[in-house]
Amino acid sequence: MITVDDVPEDTTMVVQAETPEDEVDEVLLTRVDGEVKAYLNRCQHWTDVRLDRGDGAEMRNGEIICEKHAAMFRVSDGLCTHGPCEGAMLPEVSVAADEGIVVLENGYRLLRRGSIDEDGEGDLDRGSRGGDDF
């Protein structure tokens, strides 16, 4: 169980969620003016690169920063405002608060805190892609 108060405002937290397709994926949670926002934990330049690697994504001025290539995504709506994927949107996951408990909606089901790799599952890159960054 994750409460609204557990979700940080100055960084993100990563959780595992079951998708509508019955797969497990990572979702990052953060708060904007007390409202919880949820996005798939994937940069839109390289979708196998995580924004939150398990210890909170770097944020500045209300934007999540991809540490791999400095793309910046507005927390309020997921829009990439700077970087190689400028104009792209982070895939949003609808979220609600039920008596202070965070609930994912539209077929997503929150499973547990933490990244998939903590369980030894999944194939998302932790940002170690070789070669050019762009």
Q: What is the pLDDT of residues 64-86, one digit of tens each?
A: 999 898 999 999 999 999 999 99
Pairing of strands 13-18, 109-113: antiparallel
For the chain, give the number of residues: 134
pLDDT computed for residue 69 by the predictor: 87
Alpha-carbon distances of 119 from 10, 42, 47, 56, 126, rounded to whole Å: 26, 18, 20, 18, 14
Strands of the sheet containing 72-74, edge to edge, are: 59-60, 63-65, 72-74, 80-82
pLDDT at 127 over 50: no
pLDDT at 7 over 70: yes
Enter the pTM of the model: 0.86
Which CATH number is associated with domain 4-119? 2.102.10.10
Q: Residues of the chain with pLDDT > 90: what percent?
A: 81
